[in-house]
Each structure stands twice: as structure tokens, then as C-alpha cells.
Amino acid sequence: MGSAAPLLDVQGVTIQYKTSAQLVTATWRVGFQADRSDRLVLLGPSGCGKSTLLKAIGGYLTPTEGEITLSGRTISGPGPDRVMVFQETDQLLPWKTVLQNVAFALTASGRASGQNADEQAMIAIRTVKLEKFADSYPHTLSGGMKQRVAIARCLAMQPEIVLMDEPFAALDALTRQQMQEELLELWSRSQFTLIFVTHSIEEAILLGNRIVLLSPHPGQVKEIMDVNLDDPGNRFHGRFDELRDTIHRVLFKDVGDYVI
Ligand SMILES: Nc1ncnc2c1ncn2[C@@H]1O[C@H](COP(=O)(O)OP(=O)(O)OP(=O)(O)O)[C@@H](O)[C@H]1O
Ligand SMILES: [Mg+2]
């Protein structure tokens, strides 16, 4: 395997769910690649298989057809090299404090233990500006703060790939904007590889350097676009509206009432 191989390679991935009543084809021969430090966004309408694809990259689902490789090796299960942040703001353990939640991820995965785990957890908590709340319990935090803890927990693991499934969808517009900016700031500091799922065109352009546009159910790749704004996160960038229109047109071909 040459050094030019992509970090993540999704090749011809079809995923089906078998239920007792029927066979649901969630994605159909999906292919895309992500290189180290990419911010790759999976964008498409509800039900097109975005979460399904993310779960397969996480190793929680096995493709019915096709293959997903990480550094040339087939993904066959979950691992600490890929950490997921979910849409729900209640993904923390309610009986543990912020610090304990983050440290627990490190100890449970064998990444660190004891004092070491606490120290590493505190560093991650500081990066999301929650050090004053290290001893607070999740129920005392706002939705945005809880998502920050989930992001801290993920970053503390120093994964090869960060997987985010609509992590800001449950937040109000202002908090969402703030979290998007913080995420980009975190990325510019540690340049992790990000795979981010959203159905918001604007969020995709703001956060992604590459966007995979998926068709409605079953999800197929319609187009892969390079964003390459010199100033990511800038809503007033000259190319922003142009990209937004292009994406809209591509997605609108099939979805008459695509909601942003
Ligand atoms: N556990 C499951 N069993 C059966 N079918 C499933 C299961 N999970 C998802 N599906 C089906 O697979 C398809 C893709 O679902 P998925 O959740 O991946 O879509 P999505 O793009 O993440 O949608 P949303 O934007 O609403 O979160 C849908 O038709 C859904 O009904
Ligand atoms: Mg989903």
C-alpha cells in the first residue's frame, strides 16, 4: 500500500437492514474518500442513509456490499481510532460529572488511567472552555454545554477520525453558530480528520472542505464537491451563495421540497 492511499476509503458501499417484515436498502454503492485532516461532510435529505454510513465507518454496521478501509485496513468493528459524537444532547452518563464523563472514556478504552486520565480529560475540557464546570453534573448544563462535553470526550481520545452525526441539530440557532465556530477553531488547532453529517446546506459549506451530496433514499452519491474556501466558517464569503445555489440545484433535482 503506497503512502498516497487515502486515510478513509469507502468503496461501493451498499447497506441493507433486514427486518422481519422487509429488506430496507439504506445506501446504494456509495463511494468517497477522506484524507488526513479533511473535513468531509455527508449531506442529504432525511432517510438517505447518512447515519447508516457513519455507523458503518464507526464499525457498528457491516456493509452488505463493498468495503470501508482505514489506512488500507478493512474496518471490522469499533475502535478508539474512531470516536462518534451523536445528535442527542443526552449522550453523557448522568451520574458522572463532566470530568468523570471525559475521564471515563479514556479509562474504559484503555487510553489512560487514574490521575493521568483526569489530567488528559481536563486538557480536553479546557479546549471546549468548560473548566469551571468540571465538577458539574450533566443535568445542570445547557444543551450546548453538554454537546461541548461530548466533543471534549471525543477529542480527549485523540482519535484518528472524529465522526459527528448532526451534533448541533438540537441547539438553538445562536448556540449552533457558536458551536460551528468553536469546532472550526478546534480543528485549526489539532487538524483532526472530521466526518460530519448534516442535512443543512449552510452548515455543510461552513464546516466542510469536501461535501458528499447524497440522493434521497436509498442514498447514492450524486456529486462530491470541494469547497476550499480560503476562510472556512465565513458566512459572508463571496463563494458562499454560489456554492449554496449549486448544492441546492443538485439536491433539488430529486427532492421537490428539500428543507434547509
Ligand atoms: N435499524 C434499522 N432497521 C431498519 N431500517 C433502518 C434502521 N435504521 C435506519 N433504517 C432505514 O434506513 C434508511 C436510512 O436511515 P438513516 O437513519 O441512515 O438516514 P439519515 O440520512 O441519517 O436520516 P436523518 O437525516 O433523518 O437522520 C431509512 O429508510 C431508515 O428507515
Ligand atoms: Mg441520521
Q: In terms of domains, do 140 and 167 share one?
A: no
In this structure, the chain runs to a length of: 260
Residue 260 pLDDT more than 50? Answer: no
Q: In terms of domains, do 165 and 249 share one?
A: yes
> Is the CB of 19 within 6 Å of ligand 1?
yes
Query: Which residues, including other chains, have CB under 8 Å from residue 112's CB and lie 6 or more apart?
Result: 103, 106, 120
Pick from 28, 30, 48 the residue to mutate for probing ligand 1's pocket: most ligand atoms within 8 Å of its CB. Answer: 48
Q: In terms of domains, do 151 and 169 share one?
A: no
- Domain that residue 126 falls in: 90-158
Phi, psi of 122, deg, nearest 5: -65, -40
- 81 burial type by CB count under 10 A (0-12 exposed, 13-18 middle, 19+ buried): middle
Q: In terms of domains, do 166 and 254 share one?
A: yes
Q: Which ligand is nearest to the CA of 42?
A: 1
Q: In terms of domains, do 49 and 166 share one?
A: yes
Q: Which ligand is nearest to the CA of 165?
A: 2
Q: In terms of domains, do 43 and 148 share one?
A: no
pLDDT of residue 86: 87
pLDDT of residue 90: 85
Q: What is the mean pLDDT of residues 53-61?
A: 96
As a three-state string, the secondary structure of 71-102 is CCEECCCCCCCEEEECCCCCCCCCCCCHHHHH
Q: In terms of domains, do 12 and 71 share one?
A: yes
Residue 26 pLDDT more than 90? Answer: yes
The span from the CA of 84 to the CA of 161, in Å, is 9
Q: In terms of domains, do 247 and 173 share one?
A: yes
**104, 138, 158: which is the final residue of a domain?**
158
Q: Which atom of ligand 1 lies closest to the CA of 45?
A: 25
pLDDT of residue 259: 52
**140, 158, 176: which is the final residue of a domain?**
158
Global pTM value: 0.92
Q: Which ligand is nearest to the CA of 48?
A: 1
Domain containing residue 53: CATH number:
3.40.50.300
- How far is the centre of ligand 2, averaged over its atoms, from the C-alpha of 123 (Å)? 30
**112, 130, 158: which is the final residue of a domain?**
158
Atom 12 of ligand 1: nearest residue by CA position:
26
What stretch of H or E contains 143?
helix 143-156
Give me the amino acid identity at 78.
P
Number of domains composing the chain? 2
Mean pLDDT, the chain, as a whole number? 91
Atom 11 of ligand 1: nearest residue by CA position:
26
Q: In terms of domains, do 122 and 250 share one?
A: no
pLDDT bracket for residue 190 (50, 70, 90):
confident
Q: In terms of domains, do 145 and 179 share one?
A: no
- How far is the centre of ligand 1, averaged over its atoms, from the C-alpha of 199 (Å)? 13
Q: In terms of domains, do 169 and 153 share one?
A: no
pLDDT of residue 231: 75
Q: In terms of domains, do 59 and 175 share one?
A: yes
- The closest of 81, 80, 85, 115 to 99, measured between CA atoms, is 115
The three-point CA angle 238-212-27 to 5° equals: 155
- Does residue 59 contact residue 79 with C-beta atoms inside 8 Å? yes
> Is the CB of 82 within 6 Å of ligand 1?
no
